A = this chain, B = another copy of it.
């Protein structure tokens, strides 16, 4: 049965680049994106795999089942009243952010995102660990190590019956992991586009794990069986070039959790300067797993010489840095490619050239450029 797109929410698409209409996938122009440390809802990228569900918050329940001693069925009102409210600032990034850079090397399989499939927001909800404890999940590290928290969404999609994904239980229970069942984004109830009435937020992980329209959490001894955990969001070696080849090797490669170190020159938007001379450069940088950005180098001469950018990355108040870094630098433009490379707190650096992979995920090379086709 074809998916039904008659009940999509109304959307203000000003400032957005629509990458796909059905399902709706769109990203902001990056020159607008880096104007705000906290991304306003209208500029937050849209990543969907099917029609936007239309859920009744009064009757919708989240089920916590599987290897728990006391399965729970909680309404959003229950989640709000029975668990401590918790607020986390976190940057969500699609694993396909900057896929266009890999697509220039060779065609990839996926929505061709530019560098705007990333956004920073303040999420409020309850801690997943509190909910799982209430459901009587195991707690000793040896058992926890073998289990996963699997999330199923109400969202119907093309690739599978419903959207689904999972994270290791140790991330779900991590005292410093800040995994939320969120009901608010930037101080207001989630919008339908961003997961209303309830979504998972997994800080430091690729966006695919922050399941929207959450219906079921299953504690189990294996990862989610969903397409999006098993046959997508994996980095395959460059010699895997087709679906047929990929089918044989998906199970050999791990599902992506944390994302890698990343940065991008967002201003000037075309990665060149309008004219040689002093030039203000701005961009974003981030890294996964709570790693902060320790330095961003910026070059106005295609990587020959570099200056150190000024970083804006206020402490998010926790022990890990889940929020991105915005940066600025003043350079002398020379009509050559303007580049950035970020170094995270673990000393990871972006590599110079794109390393192609079939699904076009996790591209974090230095900015590539086609002068004749500037980015918006």
A170 to B253, CA, bound (A): 31
What residues of chain B lie closer than 8 Å to A238, measured between beta carbons?
297, 306
Q: Contacting chain B: which of A181-189, A256-264, A271-279?
A: A256-264
A361 to B306, CA, bound (A): 19
Interface string of A137-153 (1 = CB under 8 A from B): 00001101100000000
Is residue A292 contacting chain B, with contact meaning CB distance below 8 A?
A: yes
Segment 155-172 of A: residues with Cβ below 8 Å from B: 168, 170
What residues of chain B lie closer than 8 Å to A361, measured between beta carbons?
347
B168, B235, B349: the one contacting A343 at CB < 8 Å is: B235
Interface string of A317-339 (1 = CB under 8 A from B): 11110000000000000000000
A141 to B257, CA, bound (A): 23
Nearest to A256 among chain B residues (CB) is B347
Question: Measured between C-beta atoms, what is the minimum distance from A252 to chain B in Å?
Answer: 9
Segment 277-319 of A: residues with Cβ below 8 Å from B: 288-289, 291-292, 294-295, 297, 306-308, 317-319
A345 to B205, CA, bound (A): 11
Is residue A355 contacting chain B, with contact meaning CB distance below 8 A?
A: yes
Is residue A239 contacting chain B, with contact meaning CB distance below 8 A?
A: yes
Is A261 in contact with B348, judged by CB distance below 8 angstroms? yes
A318 to B141, CA, bound (A): 8
A361 to B294, CA, bound (A): 14
Nearest to A240 among chain B residues (CB) is B308
Is residue A176 contacting chain B, with contact meaning CB distance below 8 A?
A: yes
Question: Measured between C-beta atoms, what is the minimum distance from A119 to chain B in Å?
Answer: 19
Is residue A5 contacting chain B, with contact meaning CB distance below 8 A?
A: no
The size of the chain A interface, using a CB distance under 8 A, is 50
Is residue A364 contacting chain B, with contact meaning CB distance below 8 A?
A: yes
Is A352 in contact with B349, judged by CB distance below 8 angstroms? no
Is B351 in contact with A349, judged by CB distance below 8 angstroms? yes
Question: Measured between C-beta atoms, what is the minimum distance from A313 to chain B in Å?
Answer: 11
Is residue A237 contacting chain B, with contact meaning CB distance below 8 A?
A: yes
A235 to B289, CA, bound (A): 20
Residues of A within 8 A of B (CB): 141-142, 144-145, 168, 170, 173-176, 235, 237-239, 253-254, 256-261, 288-289, 291-292, 294-295, 297, 306-308, 317-320, 343, 345-353, 355, 361-362, 364
Q: Which 7 A-B pairs have the closest CB atoms?
A: A347-B362, A260-B347, A258-B346, A170-B319, A145-B319, A348-B348, A351-B351
**Known contacts A145-B176, A170-B320, A349-B351; 10 further A-B pairs (Cβ under 8 A):** A141-B175, A145-B317, A170-B319, A235-B295, A237-B308, A239-B306, A258-B345, A289-B289, A347-B362, A348-B348
